[in-house]
Structure 1
Amino acid sequence: MTSSSRTTSKTQLLMDVDTGIDDSLALIYLLASDEAEILGISCTAGNVPARQVGINNLAWLELCGRSGIEVALGAEVPLLAPLMTTEETHGPQGIGYAELPAPRTRLSARHAAQLWIDTVRNRPGQVVGLVTGPLTNLALAIKLAPELPTLLKRLVVMGGAFNHPGNTTPCSEWNIAVDPESAKLVFDAFSGLPAQQQPIICPLDVTESIVMTPQHLVALAEAAGSSPITPPSPADTKGLRSATSNPLIRQLIDAVRFYFEFHQEHQQGYISHMHDPFAAAVALNPEIASLRAATVDVELSGALSRGATIADWHGLWARPSNAWVALTTDPEAFFEQLIERIGRFARNIPSAE
């Protein structure tokens, strides 16, 4: 097989993130996936401010030995709403208790919206967009280049809640709640496109079934050949740091421990919902989820329901479908793949940082 044929066989990805503990794991999962080619990473404000998102992405890439991927700063505020961030969920820097060395590389000179536009224009019909944060950058790109949805191979979005409670308000999910105007603009832009080009939305309905436990971290450390293997425990002193030998596994454990503590404080158990890595897996292989076609819209004006995602499953609005909604998956099969890939990837990272 030639070099060019290997390249074209890969899934060419443009990531848009608000990194974020689960965004971090999604990035590392894709770096560890042989079939993934990350063309660029655009950064938006969400879990933490956009500039901190950029620092996090650069630092993870350097730790993983992949600093050649372009990282572009995007929107620092939503289209209309005041900025919300959630350091109480993801930690002061967005990566829990992990402490990554300051990156040596710099952010791209391109704005993230321009990165979207240039990338899809240069590779029409080839790029899979993956958005695991608010949709602000993509909305700005579509406003500048309305043809953008037709140039994407596919879009995968982590966001929304349909037949499921919200996690920000009783009926809205975080990524949509931060910038509902952008979400509506993006979903509207895909209306009428062929079914294979309509976005796949990974909502809380399915991502809250992706439950990581301390045992998954044990399996990850074992797969990486990292020792000692001491899983986080609810009996631990809050903020205890990992002493395991592999630098990537150590940082991931420290990041996820914070997420475990957050979920426990909110009466969900000593677990973490890994929303974004699941969306990354769907971007590589949509067949891992059951999908249902729908016309999706976003409530903007409801006093109690602003940011709610609403799906018309039966054509009651008499509008064409504009999305596929992921509803179910096999969580343990997903975790088996994630652990195998990241464990193998981590073995190739030097033990000294």
Structure 2
Amino acid sequence: DGLGDVPESDAPGLELLQKKKAPNAMIKYAQQNPGEVILVATGPLTNLAVAVQLDPSFPKKLKALYIMGGNTDSRGNTTACGEFNFVADPEAAYIVLDRYNCPTYIAAWEFSCRSSLPWSFCDEWLAQKTAKAEFMTNILVSCLQKARSPEYQKEITAGKGFNPCDVFALAAAVDDGFITESEEVAVTVELNGTHTRGMMVLDYMELLKKDHKVFIMKTMDLEKLKKMLMKAVM
């Protein structure tokens, strides 16, 4: 359920759900607030692809787009060369990277693997005696159990720790000062290939002749991120 499947006696009711589809809602908010909306995508890009097909001018109304997904060095986590969010809907990822010409920042899988948070920090973070820390502890039980497994830890390239991959894109959207190094390059997505379907392609040689380039996050100020996370559960 997005909250660790933790039983909750006073959970919000289903009557709060709205019938409006996500692509239509995004288009509406952007139309009402042109140049002010920062869109953060931490899952498959299906809704974004649908939105731009419904309204081709939608990307122009966004202030920026932040994506957690894709890969830069052919390191996969779902297929041999594919990251989950892009592999789940390669055509959608292709459309978004092809048609969203707003400022775009990508926190790729390899970037998150290089930026893991030490377990010592995670223990300190969740040990705070606050209602927010208790809430986070409860909803992260299954997530952290999986993250500590040997299968998951072998993906981490910066020492053992927790890879909160979506957090990196969200933090950068809140404050782009978190990004300490990035590179600007044109990208696309492989739609065929026996092993490479869904892999993000970085066009360093500029053979694709694309005018729009994205910002690939390379490094992040992890100490600043730790402080933000600590403050968030106080």
Same structural fold, with TM-score higher than 0.5 when normalized by the shorter chain? yes
SS of 1:251's equivalent in the other structure is helix
**Aligned counterpart, 1:251:** 138
Corresponding letter in the other structure for 2:129: G
**Aligned counterpart, 1:108:** 18
Q: C-alpha distance in 1, partners of 2:72/2:147? A: 25
Q: C-alpha distance in 1, partners of 2:132/2:215? A: 42
Q: Which runs of 4+ in 1 moved over 6 A?
A: none
**Relative to 1, partners in 2 of residues 1:219 and 1:181: Cα closer, same or farther, differing over 3 Å?**
same
Aligned 1:179-258 pairs, distance under 5 A: 179-190=89-100, 193=101, 197-222=102-127, 224-226=128-130, 247-258=134-145
Task: Please tell me the root mean square deviation across aligned C-alpha atoms, in Å.
Answer: 2.3
Corresponding letter in the other structure for 1:276: D
SS of 1:134's equivalent in the other structure is coil
Q: C-alpha distance in 1, partners of 2:184/2:146? A: 32
Q: C-alpha distance in 2, partners of 1:245/1:122? A: 33
| Residues 264-316 of structure 1: per-residue CA shift (max 9 Å, x gap) | 24452864311001110011122322221111100001111100100112423
Q: C-alpha distance in 2, partners of 1:336/1:164? A: 32
**Relative to 1, partners in 2 of residues 1:225 and 1:247: Cα closer, same or farther, differing over 3 Å?**
closer
Q: Assess if the C-alpha contact under 8 Å between 2:105 and 2:215 holds in 1.
A: yes
SS of 2:202's equivalent in the other structure is strand
SS of 1:169's equivalent in the other structure is coil
**Relative to 1, partners in 2 of residues 1:218 and 1:267: Cα closer, same or farther, differing over 3 Å?**
closer
Q: Does 1:324 align with 2:228?
A: no
Task: Give the Å deviation of 1:246.
Answer: 5.5
Identify the range of structure 1 (197-206 vs 97-106) with the bigger mean alpha-carbon deviation: 97-106
**Relative to 1, partners in 2 of residues 1:215 and 1:199: Cα closer, same or farther, differing over 3 Å?**
same
2:228 counterpart (311, 314, 337)? 337
Q: Does 1:284 align with 2:174?
A: yes
TM-score when scaled to structure 1? Answer: 0.59
| Residues 28-74 of structure 1: per-residue CA shift (max 9 Å, x gap) | xxxxxxxxxxxxxxxxxxxxxxxx4xxx3xxx5xxxxxxxxxxxxxx
Higher relative contact order (CA 8 A, sep 6+): 2
Task: Give the Å deviation of 1:245.
Answer: 9.8
Q: Assess if the C-alpha contact under 8 Å between 2:115 and 2:219 holds in 1.
A: no
Corresponding letter in the other structure for 1:281: A
SS of 1:187's equivalent in the other structure is helix
SS of 1:282's equivalent in the other structure is helix
TM-score when scaled to structure 2? Answer: 0.87
**Aligned counterpart, 1:29:** none
SS of 2:72's equivalent in the other structure is coil
**Aligned counterpart, 1:123:** 33
SS of 2:97's equivalent in the other structure is helix
Contiguous gaps of at least 5 residues in structure 2: none
| Residues 221-271 of structure 1: per-residue CA shift (max 9 Å, x gap) | 34x325xxxxxxxxxxxxxxxxx995413314424433334x424452864
Task: Give the Å deviation of 1:319.
Answer: 2.2
Q: Assess if the C-alpha contact under 8 Å between 1:130 and 1:280 holds in 2.
A: yes
**Relative to 1, partners in 2 of residues 1:340 and 1:138: Cα closer, same or farther, differing over 3 Å?**
same
Identity over aligned residues, as a percent?
A: 26
Q: Does 1:148 align with 2:58?
A: yes
Q: Assess if the C-alpha contact under 8 Å between 2:187 and 2:213 holds in 1.
A: yes
Q: Assess if the C-alpha contact under 8 Å between 1:293 and 1:313 holds in 2.
A: no
**Aligned counterpart, 1:315:** 206
SS of 1:273's equivalent in the other structure is coil
Q: C-alpha distance in 2, partners of 1:253/1:186? A: 30
